[in-house]
Amino acid sequence: MTPPHRQVAETYRALGRAGMNTGASGNVSVRTRRGMVITPSGCSAETITDTDAVEMTLDGKPRGNVAPSSEWFMHAAIYRAYPNAAAIVHTHSDACTALACLNEKLPAFHYMITRFGGDDVRCAPYVTFGTPALADVAVAALIDRSACLLANHGMIVTGANADDALTAALTLEALARQYLLARAAGKPRLLTRAEMQAARERFKTYGPASNASAATKSKPRSRATAA
């Protein structure tokens, strides 16, 4: 099995190659028995190495002298709230960030939205980055979901492992881009609840994973309510 430090670095580099982050934006983490391993503060896809990721507990105690990503609050809160989340990707990718800057959710314009656990991908309200308050609104927006947008900021997704979280992030960005293109051309037709439910049922027999990557389908441990 690939060590968690390498998983984090490889995923972060893959996001950079895909144009999902610019400079030192965005972060990646993987859950461990002791807490999590997360990208360090200020790293970039071009400079991160397999040993740079920071091991830390979910209450904020890092091992070593390297500072973790400023968004560690958000990653830790999601792991505490959603036991099935095993990896997290946060990016400032173009399409998701553009939609988040409109403070709008990604609605049921395409059946692939079901991949994230519901009939939409919510947009959490704007809160200053790197704060416990941002962690709280992200946890609330992820109830029964495996992804959300962060207003005027970006997006965050969870996965059953690092590869799953990476795929989810790429899929969400593609859907956000397609939605914005459709809106630019006209008014997209949204699928009905019945149509979305039919798609969910169809996915139960599609592919080896059977849509098992919806890591946050269980209710959170926190008392937060959905936005």
Q: Which of 10, 46, 71, 201 is catalytic?
A: 71
Closest CA to 61 of 78, 76, 41, 45: 76
d(CA 102, CA 152): 7
Among this protein's residues, is 71 annotated catalytic? Answer: yes
Q: How many other CB atoms sit within 10 Å of the CB of residue 57?
A: 13
Q: Which residues are catalytic?
A: 71
